[in-house]
Amino acid sequence: RVPRRGEAEATAAAGGPEGRASMPFSVEGKHLSLLVKETFDNTTAEDVEKYVLKSFDGAWGGVDGLSKKLKVKPEAGVPSKEVEERRSHFGENKVEEEPQESLLSLMWGALQDPTLIFLTVAAFVSLAIGIFVEQRPFGWLEGVAILTAVVVVVTVGAVNDYQKEKQFRDLNAQKENIDLTVLRDGQTQTVSVHELVVGDVVLLSTGDVLPADGVVMGRNDLAINEKMLTGETVMKKKTPQYVIKNKSVVSSPTLFAGTFVQEGEGRLLVLAVGPNTYQGGMAEKMKEADSGRSILQRKLDAMTDLITTVSMWVSIALVIILLIRMGIAFHGKKCCFETWDHRVHWSEILGFVITGITIFVVAVPEGLPLAVTIALAFSVKKMLKDQNLVRHLSACETMGSATTICSDKTGTLTTSRMTVVKVFCGSRIFSTLSNIALPNPLKIAFMEAAVVNTMSKSNLVAGPTLGVPVYTGNDTECGLLVMANTIGTGGGTIDYNGHDMPYKDIRKRYPEDQDGRKQFTFSSARKRMSTRVRLPNGKYKIFTKGAAEMVTAICTHRVTVDGGLEVMSSAVRAEVEAVIASFADEALRTLCIAYKECDSPIEDVEEAEKGMVMIGLVGIEDPVRAEVPDAIKDCAKAGIVVRMVTGDNMRTAAAIAKKCGIIDDSIPMEHQVIDGKTFREKVSDKDNNLIQSEFDKIWPSLRVMGRSTPLDKHLLVSGLQASRMEGMPVQTVAVTGDGTNDAPALKKADVGFAMGIQGTDVAKNASDVIIMDDNFVSIVRAVMWGRCVYDNICKFLQFQLTVNITACTIAVVGAAVLTESPLKVIQLLWVNLIMDSFASLALATDDPNRVPGLKEQLLNRKPYPRTQALLSKIMVRNMFAHALYQLLVLFILIFCIGDVCEAGATINECGGVPYWRAPIDVGIRSGRPADYDLINLPADVKCIDAYKQDDPSTYWYVRDMPLDASGDTFEGAIPIRQRTYCEEQHGCGERSIHMTIVFNSFVLMQIFNEINTRKLHGEMNQFAGALYNDWFIRVMVGTLASQVVLVQVPGINTAFGCSGLDWAQWLVCVAIGASELLVHYLCALLPYEWIPLGSWAGSMDDATLDETAEEIRAEMAAKEKGAGNTPGDVEMSGVPQQVRN
């Protein structure tokens, strides 16, 4: 970094004591921002001494000087009455987002779709020909109708994108609204990160993401990971002053927003908020990288690409065929093709091109992305009500494939209401704490050891029930605080609204800023934490608490019941181990509390925790959530194996797992339960690389891992994902985590769940979904929603492909046989709109919480393998059976009704006896193209010849024909073939009742088949649950009403090439459409096991799946690197870098 020379002097001049006295504070936000930036830009010892110290320690007066300039007392924090004044002066702790893209901008973006551009150009060409070349009434109508359809498609897509973006902005606002613990008015308070102001004193602990720029205050043991700002993975120590040794900066006082606390506790004095922070001042706010396109989306992409390619070549081939037919017609001098007529034949060629483009548009399932988006957006909003805050969209559908859930215990499977129910001291076990029979000095020692060695953020506050506190901070520590209160008051009632509590009295005796105090933070390797305090006599005392086996192992003595000491002999250790085992058998979490005194402060943690004196054991109960056993049963029915990964000892873990129902009685217990150390030794080499062959021997029966470390969890996830055991499905792994060190496993998992209450910010940033209530049942709901999303997308896929098959076949066969499609371009676009936008709303929005029986149906079947084809055999059967039935009906309507005759009073009536009577006589005139019907006309009426001067049969010669009232007359030849004769040869373009019945029947069959496609698994009752989906009902009613308007309303039906039908004709059309409901029952009887499925159906082999998953991870890493967002990328020593067979 280049030192910014002169900034120190400028900052001192602006922010020093001689600053403007008229301001409420002697400094401004920009001056403090410059100070922070200067410390960030100058990090070498030389630059710090040359530039920073002159400003930081000189003009600003260090941390103490900054506190005075900001009018903050370190022990009291900001007075509440000054908060608004500070916010007004220094700004809000909020970086304004870029404005949401406007609806018009989104519409313009949607219009860039090539097919829509082609249609738009074609529409304008059609307008030009209709108005200026053909010059016929309503010649402009088709062009306007196509443009209208394009506008509708663009508008629907843009509105959906706009609403989705707005929804996610709202969700992100909630996600970023993190609660912090600050010091105000001398008391700790919980405030939103957005309420933070300059001068606030923030309490920090391991895993917290820093909410603002500032400096560290008082004694601390903070180690900060600044990787997301600097790219360096080395932890940075923090002290209130710069410490420089051997020309190297050992520690510095400045903390930066967005970095996170990797170890320790401390206090932050806020200097810069919002845009004034170093992060906020960057050119682009750190963005969250999404996880890229999921496996499902990539399957859909591949299927879409295949359909698009085939559709493109079919459309091109069709246009070429039609052009060849036109050339053959000119060569044979067929009717209306004797000579080139600009007005007629350019319009016909344009019709060919528009038909080809329209078939391509209809065939391409561009509605799939819209359906996926709607399904995901709908589920994300609903999942929030089920306590699932989705951070990565792909996690929604991935959960539907989950085969394994690796769950934490505390707070997830249990209530996390930690309560000390048993105490072991000396040789006695006490079950009642209110009148515990111990000498008073020993009681005090027990209380001090429990309270002093807790984090400052752990507190008890008043709740809705008198005498029952609400825990804030670490639940285990809060349980110890309750124990201290109970012992201290002898079981008396405590006013948690007040400040007079035994545990707070102890904290006052040993304040955090006490001279000589130091905290050795908890680590997963040591499984304990310790705190050193200075005693009034000048000596020091170290309190330790942690996993019972780990702490008792470092104890050399223990306290006796009378307050004396005895050596931890083999007999004593055996007694203690027996108590630990008995506590574990009762599913109690056992902690050991110990202490030791020393004459001088010990700085080294290993030395500090040697030769401890055991005060006693505490058995902490964390009751299993009442709803968890049923949720575990639901998982078993759903084919999901729940594996509990916990730091508790083996007995406790096994006892709780049994209560939850995780233990499988059909498998020997020794195969189901393992401790982390043994697991690690069995499945990894000395470099912690996974040995897959060894892992595969363990994991199928593994249900509980006790005494696990984050490395063990990461190994477990990696091994499950990499396993390809014969006879076992490819594993899709969901993982829960709450700690900073859980971040690698959360990111490694297919779906990472972070705890919203207990989870650290780092864990949340590394996760895909945040469980707002820390409840395992919410994870089961996520599985339910994942499967529902997958089903919803498949429902739409089944419907759309059925329509595609029918519409494209009708258009292609019609154009090839009849010379043009029986369905007009505008009609095909309306069908496209039905199956894209409207159907995606109707079929992608089923809610399992509303539809009776749907939740059970979703959870009573095995997970979808991620390699499985999108189209199941049942879906393929349904699609082709319904499409074949629809084609049969439509071909009958096209070719077997409609008499060939001269037009009568209207174009739809016969004038005289028909030349050819249709097999099904319904009394209407044919709407087929005249070119096709010529085969059924007598030779003398097949064509009116074009005008030829030397052929009197082609014209009438008239003499003295009056022209007007003036008496002028006309003499000459009048051609028998009128000017518009050839324009009328393209029959399907006429507004005939015949072709209206075809179009109407086609649309109604799709509307009724939409009811059928709600069922994917061969269910007979297609109406089940339909009335519980409001969107489905709205779309069905809206589509049907729109179809009535298109057919019946004058003007609109003209644009859509329709002629109004009478009630009898409508009844026939509705009956034809409703027949689809009966076909559904017949389809269910057809065999489907013989149907072969391949890559065309959206399947993916194991190798492709692995390759695709690796691509997704690489894309996500690249996005995060480009965005500078890596708070979840916690460097963890020993995380395996590769998998070995």
Query: What type of residue sits at position 189?
Result: Q
The mean pLDDT value for 1027-1036 works out to: 89
Q: Which of 213, 408, 648, 742 is catalytic?
A: 408
- Cα–Cα distances in angstroms (integers) from residue 1076 to residues 320, 587, 794, 1013, 1073, in the given order: 35, 59, 19, 11, 6
| Model confidence at 206: pLDDT above 60 | yes
pLDDT classification of 129: cutoffs 50, 70, 90? low
Q: How far apart are CA 285 and CA 172, in angstroms?
A: 14
Q: Considering only 186-190, 529-533, 890-894, which range has the smallest mean pLDDT?
A: 186-190
Render the burial of 5-21: b for 16+ CB within 10 Å, e for the rest: eebbeebbebbbeebee
CA 627 centroid distance within chain: 26
Tell me the three state secondary structure of residue 209. Answer: strand
- Cα–Cα distances in angstroms (integers) from residue 1020 to residues 388, 897, 1005, 1017, in the given order: 33, 33, 18, 9
Would you state the pLDDT for residue 579?
A: 94
Question: What is the CB-side half-sphere exposure of residue 635 using CA atoms within 13 A?
Answer: 31
- Cα–Cα distances in angstroms (integers) from residue 636 to residues 402, 600, 706, 862, in the given order: 12, 57, 22, 9
Would you state the pLDDT for residue 614?
A: 96
pLDDT > 70: percent of the chain: 83
Sign of CA dihedral 922, 924, 929, 934: positive
Would you state the pLDDT for residue 889?
A: 95
The mean pLDDT value for 799-815 works out to: 84
Would you state the pLDDT for residue 139?
A: 57
What distance, in Å, lies between the first and last C-alpha atoms of the chain?
45
Residue 292 region by backbone torsions, left for phi larger than 0, else alpha for psi between -120 and 50, else beta: left
Render the burial of 128-139: b for 16+ CB within 10 Å, e for the rest: ebbeeebeeeeb
Residue whose C-alpha is closest to residue 926's, from 902, 891, 944, 942 = 902
Q: How far apart are CA 704 and CA 707, in angstroms?
A: 10
Would you state the pLDDT for residue 1130?
A: 41
Sign of CA dihedral 1107, 1108, 1113, 1117: positive
591 contacts: CB under 8 Å, gap ≥ 6: 476, 480, 545, 546, 547, 548, 551, 617, 618, 620
Q: For 869, phi and psi rounded to 5 degrees?
A: -65, 145
Taking the CB of residue 1140, how many other CB atoms lie within 10 A of it? Answer: 14
Residue 130 in contact with residue 238, Cβ under 8 Å?
Answer: no
The sheet that has 404-407: what strands, in order across it? 388-390, 769-771, 751-755, 733-737, 404-407, 641-645, 704-706, 673-675
Q: Considering only 421-435, 486-500, 722-736, 1004-1018, which range has the smallest mean pLDDT?
A: 486-500
pLDDT tens digits along 1048-1060: 998 888 878 888 8
pLDDT > 90: percent of the chain: 22
Residue whose C-alpha is closest to residue 1024's, from 833, 829, 884, 850 = 850
| Model confidence at 704: pLDDT above 50 | yes
Tell me the three state secondary structure of residue 353. Answer: helix
Would you state the pLDDT for residue 102?
A: 84
Would you state the pLDDT for residue 101?
A: 80
Would you state the pLDDT for residue 222?
A: 84
- Residue 687 has what DSSP assignment? T
The mean pLDDT value for 847-865 works out to: 87
Q: Considering only 6-10, 585-589, 861-865, which range has the smallest mean pLDDT?
A: 6-10
Residue 638 in contact with residue 666, Cβ under 8 Å?
Answer: no
Relative to beta strand 419-425, strand 469-472 is: unpaired
Would you state the pLDDT for residue 989?
A: 45
Q: How far apart are CA 257 and CA 1108, in angstroms?
A: 35
Residue 71 in contact with residue 200, Cβ under 8 Å?
Answer: no
Q: How far apart are CA 551 and CA 179, in angstroms?
A: 33
693 contacts: CB under 8 Å, gap ≥ 6: 1141
Please count the residues of the chain: 1141
- Cα–Cα distances in angstroms (integers) from residue 850 to residues 397, 432, 1029, in the given order: 19, 47, 8
| Model confidence at 175: pLDDT above 80 | no
**Residue 408 among the catalytic residues:** yes
| Model confidence at 284: pLDDT above 60 | no
Q: How far apart are CA 736 and CA 29, in angstroms?
A: 40
Q: How far apart are CA 161 and CA 154, in angstroms?
A: 11
Beta bridge partners of 598: 540
Best mean pLDDT range from 114-123, 219-228, 241-250, 664-673: 664-673
| Model confidence at 290: pLDDT above 70 | no
Residue whose C-alpha is closest to residue 503's, from 560, 446, 579, 561 = 446
| Model confidence at 594: pLDDT above 90 | yes
For 457-572, strand residue ranges (E) read: 459-462, 469-472, 518-523, 528-534, 540-547, 555-559, 565-567
657 contacts: CB under 8 Å, gap ≥ 6: 644, 663, 673, 703, 704
Would you state the pLDDT for residue 936?
A: 63
| Model confidence at 167: pLDDT above 80 | no
Would you state the pLDDT for residue 540?
A: 94
992 contacts: CB under 8 Å, gap ≥ 6: 907, 908, 924, 925, 926, 927, 1059
| Model confidence at 701: pLDDT above 90 | yes
846 contacts: CB under 8 Å, gap ≥ 6: 788, 791, 792, 795, 854, 1014, 1025, 1029, 1032
What are 318's two structure tokens?
């069709």
The mean pLDDT value for 1075-1098 works out to: 86
773 contacts: CB under 8 Å, gap ≥ 6: 387, 756, 757
307 contacts: CB under 8 Å, gap ≥ 6: 363, 364, 365, 804
- The torsion of the CA quartet 1125, 1130, 1136, 1138, rounded to 10 degrees, works out to 10
Q: How far apart are CA 339 and CA 350, in angstroms?
A: 18
Mean residue pLDDT of the chain comes to: 81
pLDDT tens digits along 313-347: 888 888 888 888 888 878 877 777 777 877 777 77
The mean pLDDT value for 84-113 works out to: 82
pLDDT classification of 838: cutoffs 50, 70, 90? confident
The mean pLDDT value for 1124-1139 works out to: 40
| Model confidence at 1000: pLDDT above 50 | yes
Residue 310 region by backbone torsions, left for phi larger than 0, else alpha for psi between -120 and 50, else beta: alpha
- Cα–Cα distances in angstroms (integers) from residue 642 to residues 411, 530, 862, in the given order: 16, 34, 14
Q: Residue 268 belongs to what H/E stretch?
A: strand 266-272
- Residue 646 has what DSSP assignment? -
Q: How far apart are CA 587 and CA 87, in angstroms?
A: 49
- Cα–Cα distances in angstroms (integers) from residue 998 to residues 355, 810, 985, in the given order: 17, 11, 19
Largest CA distance in the chain: 142
Burial class (CB in 10 A: 0-12, 13-18, 19+), 80: exposed
The mean pLDDT value for 241-270 works out to: 85
Would you state the pLDDT for residue 133?
A: 54
Taking the CB of residue 1040, how many other CB atoms lie within 10 A of it? Answer: 16
Taking the CB of residue 1115, how many other CB atoms lie within 10 A of it? Answer: 15
Would you state the pLDDT for residue 955?
A: 76
pLDDT classification of 287: cutoffs 50, 70, 90? very low
- Residue 796 has what DSSP assignment? H
The mean pLDDT value for 170-184 works out to: 75
507 contacts: CB under 8 Å, gap ≥ 6: 451, 452
Q: How far apart are CA 809 and CA 821, in angstroms?
A: 10
